[in-house]
Amino acid sequence: MAQVVVVTSGKGGVGKTTTTAALGAALAQEGQRVAVVDFDVGLRNLDLVLGAERRVVYDLIYVSQGNVKLSQALIRDKRLENLYLLAASQTRDKDALTDEGVEKVMGELRSTFDWVICDSPAGIERGATLAMRHADVAVVVTNPEVSSVRDSDRIVGLLDAKTDKAARGERMEKHLLLTRYDPVRAGRGDMLNVDDVIDILSLPLLGIIPESEEVLRASNLGSPVTISTPKSAPARAYSDAAQRLMGMDVPMAFPSDRSGLFSKLFGRKAA
């Protein structure tokens, strides 16, 4: 029986899709059977970030409407045999996704995998609530920036109100994943630091992903960062976060200001 995780944020562009791909790959690298599901109907991108954009034939809507079997729509990753993608539709209207249809697909995924990771669309509309509805665990992706923190707070409210778990009177498990964190700017007091964000949102911290050029490079290549450069700082941060999701006790690595004296003197950005 799978754990269903929703990767959500409210705000767009904070790294939901990157995180879904990286966490999914990291869990698969741990030997878990993982399905990543794109709920962003009309603006799908998880296929692109995973490098599977040319292999999408059927998508979530086909399966939810019963037109094809789940096994026909699942795309197996070429690098990790335990990782599967269920893409969103690029052409259909988002209203083609019904509550019953999604429930049926999620039920099937749950019985097939160890982890089902749902990539939520931005916003607080139906697409986002559909993506979170069946989740057991939420990963709230937040940038250390005012608009992202505010939107995350809004999403936390929705997670406590609009999920099946909340409707059953259970407590939704929520984790904060701080992305695009720049320890140099936070250290200077020009960016909200880790404690500020934890304090404001009152969520337990799942991980801190440092701002890194490796993340963009990975999506350029269509490869999750945990596969493309597994030793890089963001890849290690994602792998640690994945292990924490699995219940392992992994000490939190706080990204530090590793810039040398030269870059400090001349104000260069840390790598």
Does residue 153 interact with other proteins by CB under 8 A?
yes
Helix axes 16-29, 213-221, angle to 10 degrees: 80
Does residue 150 interact with other proteins by CB under 8 A?
yes
Q: Which of 46, 83, 88, 192 binds other proteins (CB under 8 A)?
A: 192
Quick check: helix, strand or coil at residue 174? strand
Does residue 190 interact with other proteins by CB under 8 A?
yes
Tokens of 154: 């809004």
Does residue 196 interact with other proteins by CB under 8 A?
yes
Encoded one letter per residue, x for contact with other proteins by CB under 8 A and - for no contact, window 198-237 reads -xx-------------------------------------
Give whole-number Cα distances, 198 to 119, 159, 241, in Å: 22, 17, 16
For residues 72 and 43, what is the distance between their CA atoms, to the nearest angstrom? 22
Does residue 266 interact with other proteins by CB under 8 A?
no
Q: Which of 160, 164, 214, 257 binds other proteins (CB under 8 A)?
A: 160
Q: Which of the ranges 72-80, 150-158, 236-244, 245-253 carries the binding residues for other proteins, by CB under 8 A?
A: 150-158
Does residue 188 interact with other proteins by CB under 8 A?
yes
10 Å CB burial of residue 254 (0-12, 13-18, 19+) is: exposed
**Closer to other proteins by Cβ: residue 229 or 259:** 259
- The answer for residues whose C-beta is within 8 angstroms of residue 43's C-beta and 6 or more apart is 88, 90, 121
